[in-house]
Amino acid sequence: MSTTLTESLTGKQLATRIVKYSVRRVLFPLCVLAPFAWFFPKIAAFYAIVGAYDVTRNRNLDASVLRRYFIGNGFVTWLLSPFNALLDLLSLPHVNKGVYKLEDLPPSHQEEVRTLIQAAKDADLVRQLEAYIKDNQRSMVFFRWYGVNMDTVLDVPAFHQPWKHIETIGVSVFNKKVSTSKHFGYLRASLRVLYNLNDMKDDSAYIWVGDTTSYWRDNKLFIFDDTLLHESVNQTDQTRYCLFVDMIRPSPFPGVMRAVVAGVRLLTQSFKFVYYKNWKIIER
């Protein structure tokens, strides 16, 4: 995902954008997808069917969503769509709602979310983080990363308790007039839980998922499946501080979900900075 700022493009930036546009919209479909479908038609047909199921879960589906999913920043989500479809089946009878209210979750999930939010409030994170943010467009501090506690710049012992469902605990910080592009997450073994820590003053700070737009001024808590197309926006004159949490998806097979999360940790721990390349990761 990229950071969006209001600015005019220089000649070099414009040329770079044209090249990226040509590669994504023309060369990639013609030189990669078409030959693959020609030489491996059964696999291609399978991916077309599973991808169609996966992308149509997005509300307000249009050509733009299809383009982003199949030949844009959702391509990895498409590659993982068979695995995500399997995780959907393993989660039944807990149907994926896409966007959740807290009461949609099982009681034990609800309790952990409430406990975490209270711990964040007690820690006064906004005041403590102000000194580390400075002029970064987007910053992230992790207290827990895919099930493993992190040694970070702030000591919040309550974040390091033995959680049953919560796997990742962080705080994402958007500076003034900073937003993400529209993008997809990759795996559905977990749900994304966001809680805005400071009080926003107007409706220019929000998160958008399909046909749902949630304004941080009105609703501080937002829970969703991040493999759906989404966008985080802060066009206010305030810095936005938000708890950034992943918790195991409700399922009769929680061990499977935890194993997937552990696998992601092993695969990404060596290149976390690439995974969050548009963020300033604050570490001790």
pLDDT tens per residue across span 170-216: 999 999 888 888 999 999 999 999 999 999 999 999 999 999 999 99
Band (223; pLDDT cuts 50, 70, 90): very high
DSSP string for 141-190: EEEEETTEE---SS--GGGGS--SSEEEEEEEEE-TTEEEPPB--S--SE
Q: What distance in Å separates the CA atoms of residue 181 and residue 70, rounded to the nearest whole number?
A: 16
Band (7; pLDDT cuts 50, 70, 90): very low
Nearest to 244 by CA among 224, 266, 268: 224
Phi-psi region of 147 (alpha: psi -120 to 50; beta: other; left: phi over 0): left
Question: In terms of residues, how long is the chain?
Answer: 284
* pTM assigned to the model: 0.89
Q: What distance in Å separates the CA atoms of residue 242 and residue 170, rounded to the nearest whole number?
A: 8
State yes or no: pLDDT of 4 exceeds 60. no
Q: What distance in Å separates the CA atoms of residue 194 and residue 119, rounded to the nearest whole number?
A: 14
What are the structural domains, with CATH classification, of the chain?
A: 3-91 (no CATH), 99-281 (2.60.120.330)
The answer for residues whose C-beta is within 8 angstroms of residue 103's C-beta and 6 or more apart is 110
